[in-house]
Amino acid sequence: MPQPSNGCDALNPMALTVHKYGGTSMGSTERIRNVAKRVAKWARAGHQMVVVPSAMSGETNRLLGLAKELSPERSSPELMRELDLIAATGEQVSVGLLAIALQAEGVQSVSYAGWQVPIKTDSAFTKARIQSIDDQRVRADLAAGKVVVITGFQGVDELDNITTLGRGGSDTSAVAVAAALKADECLIYTDVDGVYTTDPRIVPEARRLHTISFEEMLEMASLGSKVLQIRSVEFAGKYRVPLRVLSSFTPWDIDIVEEAKSGTLITFEEDEKMEQAVVSGIAFNRDEAKISLIGVPDKPGIAFQILGPVADANIDVDVIIQNVSHDGKTDFSFTVHRNDYARTMDLLKSAVIPKTGAATLSGDTKICKVSIVGIGMRSHVGVASKMFSTLSDEGINIQMITTSEIKTSVVIDEKYMELAVRALHKAFDLEQAPA
């Protein structure tokens, strides 16, 4: 597999480079034309180019909105199959338009839908996972000097059903294609110019990171950072795909050497400078909901009885807390994505409560998760306590806590989210670059 890049590998003659462009970058014919000019610049510099674009901005929401008008119910497997078929068309329009724009630039190009490559997935409609990618067709086109444009966000299952990978799935598609092709580098072009210490819309003093470790990026993505989808980071880590996040709104004719070194490099090596930063960033997620079962019998297997049916329904569980037992009873709380809240509550009422004998079921959709992330936390004590004291000073109550070696997350009332992020960013001096 390719080794981690410092940005220079992308300049080697005949380097195989994957570009991914988000929906905003593809938002109009003028923007698509600019993407084509940028890709053409890289192709003319001698690169073998594969491009993975998202649907045009707002198109997926429009398509799914039409489906919702016809059927608000979205839980049956039959309906989910049709939603994937509908949603996948947005990316198919994008690849066709980009291929046409490239041809207008005098660049040979060909576009493929995921099923044509093919990109094989499982059959979990709307949340499918990539199982394999056949690179033979793509390699033949690259060898013939063509730019290959492949739909993101989608694939095909063993029964030839079109599947989608979930929101942000084009990131995952791009990294998976880069892994399959053993690309020299995968460049993720977005509407921001890299990975920041936190969202600059909440903290104007947020600082762009020149590098971030794979482990930190994985935590940031899992904890709510919207820059990259978590599965794309997982792919990058598993197959050691050199990955860079950069802006698609720099002028397309920017010097290619400068462009290849811009943005944020996700690295697999921890250097001395990175070790100096105790906390690298603040992540947050407002799309959380908390569910609590009160008075659950405290006996072996109770966690499986509660969460097993939830997992079988393909619902992801995040933070989990089980309290100390009193009189043979315990309280069990966990969080899910807010979109899964109603379905999870219905499932617990119908299939879990009767079997476990829990006394009470309650839920809260007005919570959020705020997290501090940093590889420097491994070798520094007192980081979590500083986080807790900072929140205490702001009068913010902590409802749940979870930790790992390089992160600490708290669940708090949603109305305090921005206050918490700003206070923590200041407390850990994240507006200042490490010395």
pLDDT at res. 177: 97
Residue 99 has pLDDT above 90, yes or no: yes
**Torsion angle of alpha carbons 120, 243, 246, 37, nearest 10°?**
-60
Tokens of residue 126, six digits: 């709307």
What tens digit of pLDDT does each residue of 44-85 get? 999 999 999 999 999 999 999 999 899 877 678 889 999 999
Domain regions of the chain by residue span: 9-192+227-269, 281-427
pLDDT on residue 275: 44
Residue 4: pLDDT over 50: no
> What's residue 191's pLDDT?
85
CA distance 99 to 51: 10
Give residue 6's pLDDT. 44
The percentage of the chain sitting over the pLDDT mark of 90, rounded to a whole number, equals 73
| CA 368 – CA 396 distance, rounded (Å) | 12
Q: CA–CA separation, 122 vs 249, rounded Å?
A: 35
**If you average pLDDT over residues 225-254, what whole number do you get?**
90
What fold does the segment set 9-192+227-269 form as a domain?
Answer: Carbamate kinase (3.40.1160)
Three-state secondary-structure class, residue 304: helix
413-419: Cβ within 8 A, 24+ apart: 413/366, 413/367, 413/368, 414/286, 414/366, 414/367, 414/368, 415/366, 417/284, 417/286, 417/368, 417/370, 418/202, 419/394
**Residue-wise pLDDT tens digits, 105-138:** 999 999 999 999 999 999 999 999 999 999 999 9
Query: Which pLDDT does position 2 carry in this prediction?
Result: 40
Whether 329 has a pLDDT exceeding 80, the answer reads yes
Closest Cα partner for 380 from 266, 237, 280, 271?
280
Angle at Cα 344 formed by Cα 339 and Cα 350, nearest 5°? Answer: 150
- Mean pLDDT for the stretch of residues 222-248: 87
Which pLDDT score is estimated for 90? 96
pLDDT tens profile 290-324: 999 999 988 888 899 999 999 999 899 999 998 87
- The model's confidence at residue 176, banded by pLDDT at 50, 70 and 90, is very high
Whether pLDDT at 247 is above 70 = yes
Q: Which residues pair with 367 in a beta bridge?
A: 288, 413
Which of 256, 245, 260 shows the shortest CA–CA distance to 211? 245
Give 66: exposed, middle or buried? Use CB within 10 Å, 0-12, 13-18, 19+: exposed
Identify the three-state secondary structure at position 130.
strand
Mean pLDDT of 360-389: 92
Of 263, 261, 266, 260, residue with least CA distance to 41: 260
The reported pLDDT for the residue numbered 358 is 86
Mean pLDDT on 91-96: 98
What is the band of 7 on the pLDDT scale with cuts at 50, 70, 90? very low
**pTM of the predicted structure, to 2 decimals:** 0.81
Which CATH superfamily groups domain 281-427?
VC0802-like (3.30.2130.10)
The terminus-to-terminus CA distance of the chain in angstroms comes to 34
**To the nearest whole percent, how much of the chain has pLDDT over 70?**
94
Instruction: State residue 379's pLDDT score.
Output: 79
- What is the rounded distance in angstroms from the CA atom of residue 71 to the CA atom of residue 380? 53
Whether the CB-CB separation of 19 and 42 falls below 8 Å is answered with yes
Give the pLDDT band of residue 12 (cuts 50, 70, 90): low
Three-state secondary-structure class, residue 186:
strand
At residue 187, does pLDDT exceed 50? yes
Cα separation of 83 and 116, whole Å?
Answer: 20
Mean pLDDT of 153-159: 96
The mean predicted confidence, pLDDT, of the chain is 90
